[in-house]
Chains A and B, each alone.
Chain A
Amino acid sequence: MNVASKPAMGQATLEDRRSAKVSARDVDVFYGAKQALKSVSIDIRPNEVTALIGPSGCGKSTFLRCLNRMNDLIETCRVAGSIWLDGEDIYTSGLDPVLLRARVGMVFQKPNPFPKTIYDNVAYGPRIHGLARSRAELDEIVMTSLEKAGLIDEVKDRLQEQGTGLSGGQQQRLCIARAIAVSPEVILMDEPCSALDPIATAKVEELIDELRQRFTIVIVTHSMQQAARVSQRTGFFHLGELVECGETEQIFTNPRHKLTQGYITGRFG
């Protein structure tokens, strides 16, 4: 099957582009000589959850990390093409990656709280970006972030305890609180539930749905059920190409592409 002949999704309407929060055009990513992404174009709409699915090694995490230039940290990595955030090219417009990452937050696969107190974990972002002018303001940011992350009831009496002492699911929600404390516009989530048990996963998924009101969310997931549960739009990656992207319901019930159908029905993956 020739994947290169993309169906209609490639030709996004002008309407799509104008309303997109993040739009990527012809993004190629190379790790040394190896090409990890091939000409990926996608529009991510504001206040929606966009899920990226696909088999292991298909480039979905790589693409996600392009959106806040985390790939810059990998020395051999080279990105071509363009990615716009609110109509501004994040690679060429001279936008500082440090500022970009304040606007595009990230939650990682494994919960990675800092070995500091719960309070300091959440307060770290606002502190380095100077978002709070006083102690009271910082307290306010920390408390509302924890509240938004649905963690406040569990931790409000032990803000000075180590963040690493929480359970896995709590740690991941702490990481989400930490990410939203800098008031980003977009939150990238790289398989945020893969290290969590089903109950913690359910909580995080619930949270993702709530966060959609304020943030634009891009989530990479291995679980198709999760994509179906939490996302409004889904993109299917295969071997570094974006095979298909559309409404989640459409992707799961009526995929346009044979590869997508094969993947969601479990024929490969």
Chain B
Amino acid sequence: MIDERTARRLARRHAAERRFKLYGMASVAVALAFLVALLVTIVGKGYTAFAQTEIAVEVSFDAGPVKEGDFAGLVKSALAARFPEVTARNDKRELFGLISSGADRVLRDMVQDDPGLVGQKRVVTLLASDDVDMVVKGHVTAQSGRLTAPQAEWLASLRQTGAVSLGFNTTFFTAGDSREPELAGVGGAVVGSLFAMVVTLCLAFPLGVSTAVYLEEFAPKNRWTELIEVNINNLAAVPSIVFGLLGLALFLNFLNMPRSAPLVGGLVLTLMSLPVIIIASRAALKAVPPSIREAARGLGASRLQVVTHHVLPLAMPGILTGTIIATAHAIGETAPLLMIGMVAFIVDIPAGFLDPATVLPVQVYLWADSPERAFVERTSAAIMILLAFLAVMNLLAIVLRKKFERRW
């Protein structure tokens, strides 16, 4: 039988356990709440960026302007035809401000695709300017926004005739950066990020894994290897901007590599993620049971065979997870890339590792800094794409781990 003291003690122990579980659940709940708040804010602000206001007008493809390449002129005459009452010069300029300054490209592409269009009339949906876009999406009212009173009137008249519509914003995915929000896209940044990531992965993975294998399986344990180990651990904690400065001094100033290039960005990110990959890989190698090494050695496998046949395959899930987490971290890194000029305003989508480029987080940083109201939603949308990028990478890490996982 249990006496009273034992019973009381037992009750206290159970209570402590319940309390501990409660704390744990509470902290998970708080963390989840923060995550949900973050996602709700970003998605709530950003989802409208995936739609874009378009205005349908009837354009007559007159031979004259087409020949001269004056497609902007076609847009202007189409608008003037739609609103014949506007005659004054200043009013006209305001009227043309409803349509994006990049709208003429659509017409040019149409004529290029189908030269038979010349001399005909077609209803074409043209990109609206960002100010119109904001009003249509309801982010600002027609009065409080940057639209002038006549502009608001014209817009209202256009909306009455059903000429204004919201379409899927392909520009946002395909275009590079632009001063005009409606023409700006993350395409350039995504490609830049991909290039930088390829460089980082191709350099950091083999270097990091071979370093870890050497230190863990081959290197003698002496003062030198100890020193190297301590240094690697310390490097993992160095602020990323310092790596940016190192890259600036080493790659740009000393080796004269091109500025703003994804190659240099990738090199800097490699420097940054190497220590993390080495530490993760060493931990994964350490976790392989020594009995496996002994078994292979006992059969007469050489050291390298023990590593390549047994230890590395068993450590691979851990190594891959570490590498992908480190690369994902590098993808989200901004500070070191600012140092090597990847913060420049770059309109073109990079075609190679040496072309000037920017990356997603830097694009977010640039847009967050822009005054136009339309860049607010685009910033959030870019963050969403960055997060999706990272989610895919983490998913990949999980899939790879599951695939290579072996139990013993």
Residues of A participating in the B interface, judged by any CB pair closer than 8 Å: 68, 70, 73, 75, 98-102, 105-106, 108, 110, 112-115, 124-125, 128-129, 164, 175, 178-179, 182
Contact = CB atoms under 8 A, between A and B. Distances in A.
19 contacts: A70-B294, A73-B293, A101-B297, A101-B298, A106-B294, A108-B295, A108-B298, A110-B291, A112-B289, A114-B295, A114-B296, A115-B292, A115-B314, A124-B296, A124-B299, A125-B300, A128-B299, A128-B301, A128-B305
B368 to A, nearest CB: 49
A70 B295 CA distance: 10
Nearest to A112: B291
A99 B300 CA distance: 6
Nearest to B302: A98
B300 A129 contact: yes
- Closest 7 A-B residue pairs measured CB to CB? A106-B298, A112-B291, A102-B300, A101-B300, A115-B408, A115-B406, A125-B299
A97 to B, nearest CB: 8
A167 to B, nearest CB: 15
A168 to B, nearest CB: 13
Interface string B392-403: 000000000000
A175 B295 CA distance: 9
Interface string B203-232: 000000000000000001100000000000
Nearest to B298: A106
- Residue in B291, B298, B310 whose Cβ sees the most chain A Cβ within 10 Å: B298
Contacts of B291: 108, 110, 112
Interface string B377-396: 00000000000000000000
A76 to B, nearest CB: 9
A189 to B, nearest CB: 11
B44 to A, nearest CB: 48
Give the bracket for the number of chain B residues in contact with chain A: 20 to 34
Given A101-B299, A112-B289, A124-B309, 11 more contacts: A70-B294, A75-B220, A100-B300, A101-B297, A101-B300, A114-B292, A114-B310, A124-B296, A125-B299, A164-B407, A178-B299
Given A75-B220, A112-B292, A114-B310, A70 B300 contact: no
A106 B298 CA distance: 6
Contacts of B294: 70, 73, 106, 108, 112
Nearest to A109: B291
B288 to A, nearest CB: 10
A172 B297 CA distance: 17
A173 to B, nearest CB: 14
Contacts of B310: 114
Contacts of A75: 220-221
- Residue in A75, A105, A114, A182 whose Cβ sees the most chain B Cβ within 10 Å: A114
A112 B295 contact: yes
Contacts of B406: 115
A70 B297 contact: yes
A182 B298 contact: no
Nearest to B310: A114
- Residue in A112, A124, A129, A175 whose Cβ sees the most chain B Cβ within 10 Å: A112
Given A112-B291, A112-B292, A68 B298 contact: yes
Contacts of A179: 298-299
B298 A98 contact: no
Given A75-B220, A112-B291, A164-B407, A98 B296 contact: no
A75 to B, nearest CB: 6
B292 to A, nearest CB: 6
A98 B297 CA distance: 8
A215 B292 CA distance: 24
Contacts of A108: 291, 294-295, 298
A164 B299 contact: no
Contacts of A73: 293-294, 297
Interface string B312-349: 00100000000000000000000000000000000000
A108 B291 CA distance: 8
B408 A182 contact: no
Contacts of A164: 407-408
A112 B305 CA distance: 17
Nearest to B314: A115
